[in-house]
Amino acid sequence: MMPRKIAFGENAAKEFDYPKNSLVITTTTPDIYEKWLDYMGIKEYEVYNKATPDPSIESVEAIREKYEGKKISAYIGLGGGSSMDVCKYLGKLTGIPKVLIPTTFGTGAEMTTYAVISFEHKKKLLQDEAFLADAAVVDPYFLPGTPYNIMRNSACDAAAQASEGYDSKLSNPLTKLFCREAFDVLEDAIINDKSELLPYGAMLSGIGFGNSSTTLGHALSYVFSNEGMPHGYSLSSCTTVAHKFNKSIYYERFRKICKKLNFEPLTLKQGFEDAADVIMPDRGHLDNNPIPVTRENIVQCLDEIINKNPLS
């Protein structure tokens, strides 16, 4: 599955024909999004800019109620993952079409049936065909303003998703095709300092892993994100160690990418046994790992991540 329409490349967001009476949903501030909307040439729209990072189900419901009865022809999710997640969930609730426009490139969320929404302060990864965008607009125009740290984390996430997705038990020749090409493009972008290639690589990664799954690397990473580490940063060491465990063809190449991006080693406040308690029930990721993973394996992987600097 992928969006019915994909507009990609330079000027894609400028040339896209936006439906009238759209509701633009973004997490950014007017000084930034007004410039974007100007570039896009969108007319007769409303902006909802109170979407917050890590959106909760309550915040999504609040938007639905606020615009109930108004004629909204489409949602336009403009920004990072959170803006798009809000649109995905809203679209599922109301059936109104959604156009997703990523401005930080890495998650590939504009291509996938996944959304992350918080329920009772706990982030939940949801999957639903109804989350799929009606159109995705991927335009490198938005890239230059991205701070280096965000770009670095996003690039690492995209490369982790492509390589874990390639190895996933749910992969097939078609998803592998996308994951392989995604990794090649991302590797070229990172190693040879061609950041303009990141949007394309992230998009391909989204199609590839979005139709298979991520695996052990992502499963390991969430205990670090729960302690406040950014997602992409956590993956640098976690996916490296997971690739080693899985004897992945991407082990060395992924490690090289992380070294190039200069990621520091990870730290963990909780003990390995407590962390393993959190990781083991994550069957969505672990069951799709190419090799069965025991609790002992998890503890060994954590030990390697923390005590043996896998990126040294």
Stretch that binds Zn ion, among 80-88, 150-158, 177-185, 245-253 (CB under 5 A): 150-158
What is the C-alpha separation between 15 and 73, in angstroms, rounded?
19
Residues between 203 and 222 that touch Zn ion (CB under 5 A)? none
Residues between 5 and 44 that touch Zn ion (CB under 5 A)? none
Q: Could you tell me how many residues of this chain bind Zn ion (CB under 5 A)? A: 1
Q: Is 280 helix (H, G, I), strand (E, B) or coil?
A: coil
Q: Is 261 helix (H, G, I), strand (E, B) or coil?
A: coil
CB closer to Zn ion out of 157 and 187: 157
For residue 231, the minimal CB distance to Zn ion (Å) is 6
167 in contact with Zn ion (CB under 5 A):
no
Stretch that binds Zn ion, among 46-54, 153-161, 166-174, 304-312 (CB under 5 A): 153-161
Structure tokens belonging to residue 215? 């695996």
Count CA atoms within 13 Å of residue 124 on its CB side: 12
CB closer to Zn ion out of 40 and 132: 132
CB closer to Zn ion out of 47 and 278: 278
For residue 63, the minimal CB distance to Zn ion (Å) is 25
Q: Pick left, alpha or beta for residue 29 (phi over 0 → left; psi -120 to 50 → alpha; otherwise beta).
A: beta
CB closer to Zn ion out of 77 and 81: 81
110 in contact with Zn ion (CB under 5 A):
no
157 in contact with Zn ion (CB under 5 A):
yes
Instruction: Please answer whether residues 232 and 254 qualify as being in contact, where contact means their C-beta atoms are separated by less than 8 angstroms.
Output: no
CB closer to Zn ion out of 60 and 156: 156
Instruction: Decide: residue 249, CB within 10 A, 0-12 exposed, 13-18 middle, 19+ buried.
Output: middle
Q: What are the φ/ψ torsions at residue 285 (nearest 5 degrees)? A: -90, -45
CB closer to Zn ion out of 110 and 157: 157
Determine how β-strand 114-119 pairs with β-strand 122-127. antiparallel
For residue 164, the minimal CB distance to Zn ion (Å) is 8
Which residue is at the shortest CB distance from Zn ion?
A: 157
Stretch that binds Zn ion, among 42-50, 91-99, 156-164, 202-210 (CB under 5 A): 156-164
Write the DSSP string, 138-171: E-GGGSTTS-HHHHHHHHHHHHHHHHHHHH-TT-
Q: Which residues bind Zn ion (CB under 5 A)?
A: 157
